[in-house]
Amino acid sequence: MSTLSFPLAADGVFGPVLETVLDAVIVIDMGGMIVGWNAVAHATFGWTGEEAVGQSLEQLIVPPIHRQAHRTGLLRVAGGGEAHVLGKRIEISAICKDGREIPVELAISRTRIDDETYYFGFLRDISARREAEARLERQALETRMLFEVSTMASEAESYERALETTLRAICRVSGWPIGHAFIVPELEHRLVSAGIWIEDAPGRADMIRAATENTAFFRGIGLPGQIWQNGEPVWVADTDAEANCPRKGTGFRGAFGFPLRTNGRTVAILEFFSDIPTPPDPELLLTIRTLGDQLGRVIERKRTEERQRLLLDELNHRVKNTLSVVQGIAHQTFRSAASMDQARTILTGRLNAVAKAHELLAADRWSKAPMLEIIESAIAGCGAPRERFDITGRDFNVSPVTAVSVALAIHELCTNAFKYGALSNDAGRVAISWTATGGRAPSFSFEWRECGGPPVVLPTRKGFGSNLLQRGLGGDLGGKVEMDFARDGFVCQFAATLPARVDG
């Protein structure tokens, strides 16, 4: 029932009218006090007519942010000024009895009764409409995001560029300030940062980037590790309250991520961060799940195309290197041999060693290979005199991917030593050493150190050989390669965690 307390309320004229109106109707006097309140207002805001009538409208349902404007408007009209909102429909918010703030559509009319002015407010809860509009807008944005991201990723020149495009688009549509990508290496033992960070301001991601570089993300460890382990999106509403969060305290509270998958395998993981706690968004999670399946195929195709290009470049490069090695072997052989017959014998043996090493690299059905044999064969394959190498390290078995990567690296290092380094004269030597430890995450460290060669000259550009070392060791094995062009001898160091079984 409507509750009225102004003149003519008793004659029954207004009560039945207010009860038939489908909107909430609130009547106030010139002082802003409520004098009328119908049943729909009760249903909308929670206060009964008896509770509402006699209260200040400002204090009852006007949000604090709008109270000054409400008060100013009443004073202006009372002083004979213009009423800005009469006869218009506006959208504003109002407070309910339970503390909720809801969007409402408001129309105000003015009437005079017995020389008193009253304002009738007709209010309609538009929460459902706003939610529907937001849902449609979100669906449109997400549909556009799916199309744009898939298209841009497909047109990207490399898979790194495709990842960057994807991160940037999702940050733009979702409004999250930070995005980052992990790559799942072929060996699938530890995630590797793609080195791609999207940030809404320079330096915004510095702390979390440093924490990421200093954390080993295995399956189940942290946000990316959980995504990798389950193959599903993960949302962390508040990182401070999450036990499995090694990067907490880096300035971000909300986080979510999802896998890029193809043929049932995760090939990359994208993660995003917000500086405030953020509850899960079911619609966004549904969208990124779909996006992850689509982009997984795109990213894997890009990686395959890049590998094919790399293999072709490598083939071309290795043919040139092989010719250089043969030329170097022939030069040193004929220079040091006592006779042509001796030179012919030595040259034939060295060329056969090269062929044997190439057979080792071509094998693709290994179940394992000893590290020492890989290194010895790679050295022999380059035709380098074994007596010029000092090899130190505990032998252990490695996977085929590791074996090929190490053999290619040794081949490349030998070739460079023949061209420019310790093997380009008669006095230089090379020390090769490595260490390996067992356990859940075997640690592997490798060093190539030259001495006695000509003074080292810092290269003016990064050639294919350096790229091959970075991609082969750093990319395929998920490790870190460091090269030092010290004047007294070139040094290459590599460190990684490998799924290797140390032979004891």
- Residue 131's Cβ-count burial label (10 Å; 0-12, 13-18, 19+) is exposed
DSSP sequence for 85-141: SBT-EEEEEEE-TTS-EEEEEEEEEEEEETTEEEEEEEEEE-HHHHHHHHHHHHHHH
Query: Between these two residues, 91 and 402, which has the higher pLDDT value?
Result: 91
Class of the CATH-defined domain 13-130: alpha beta
Phi, psi of 449 (to 5 degrees): -130, 125
Read off the pLDDT of residues 106-132 as tens digits, 9 standing for 90 and up. Answer: 998 888 877 788 889 999 999 999 888
Tell me, what's the pLDDT at 222?
95
Number of neighbours of residue 475 by Cβ within 10 angstroms: 19
Tell me, what's the pLDDT at 182?
94
**Nearest-10 Cα torsion for 346, 347, 350, 356:** -120
13-130 matches 156-306 in fold: yes
Tell me, what's the pLDDT at 278?
93
Read off the pLDDT of residues 247-290 as tens digits, 9 standing for 90 and up. Answer: 999 989 999 999 988 878 888 899 999 999 999 988 788 777 77
Q: How confident is the model at residue 166 (pLDDT cuts 50, 70, 90)?
A: confident
Q: What is the mean pLDDT of residues 154-177?
A: 80
Q: What ranges do the domains of the chain cover?
A: 13-130, 156-306, 336-497
Please state, in angstroms and as integers, the Cα–Cα distance from residue 323 to each residue in 109, 327, 334, 351, 418, following that order: 94, 6, 16, 11, 12
C-alpha 274/C-alpha 260 separation (Å) is 21
CATH topology of domain 156-306: Beta-Lactamase (3.30.450)
| Sheet-wide strand order for 429-437 | 389-392, 429-437, 443-451, 489-497, 480-486
Q: What is the mean pLDDT of residues 384-412?
A: 79
55-59, 412-416, 427-431, 478-482: least confidently modelled range: 478-482
Domain 336-497, second-level architecture: 2-Layer Sandwich (3.30)
